[in-house]
A = this chain, B = another copy of it.
Amino acid sequence: MRIEEIIKSENVDISKKVILNVMYSNSKLNETFYVALKPFDMSTEQFNVLRILRGQKGNALNMSDIQERMIAKTSNTTRLVDKLLKKELVTRRVCKDNRRKMDVSITDKGLELLKILDPLVKAHEEHFTNKLNEEELDTLNKLLEKFRS
């Protein structure tokens, strides 16, 4: 669906169109992931934290490390990690070197859940990216990075 159809106006300059297109594309992505994860009682944010922790391959991360790696910086990592703790998908301990910090790690249960979710999420991602060929994906990446530069 073209942006013009969504906002029901044809008089949009190209700059505004790009802005709206980025926001609308993100909205569609979120919607898709939301629906995919919902049956597993997972929010996209919780899923994101789990993935970040897995990326550490066993090493723990502090709260601020996690926050730094989030795409949309959620200042309430504490509360997200609380939810994951209750589901026993992560552990949280006071850091030995610095008692202000927390060491957060993914559990085996968390890793297993990700194993189930991975193909689902991948399928949803590809629903979008399959529409473009390699060259187009590359161009899109470059343009978005330039857009943000």
Q: Is A116 close to B, CB under 8 A? A: no
Q: Is B20 within 8 A of A71, CB to CB? A: yes
- For A, the interface residue count at a CB cutoff of 8 angstroms equals 50
CB distance from A132 to the nearest CB of B (A): 6
Question: What are 13 contact pairs spanning A and B, CB under 8 A?
Answer: A1-B145, A6-B71, A20-B71, A23-B30, A23-B71, A24-B71, A24-B72, A24-B148, A25-B26, A25-B148, A28-B148, A132-B147, A136-B143
Q: So how many copies of this chain end up in the complex?
A: 2
Q: Is A9 close to B, CB under 8 A? A: yes
Q: Is A134 within 8 A of B2, CB to CB? A: no
Q: Is A112 close to B, CB under 8 A? A: no
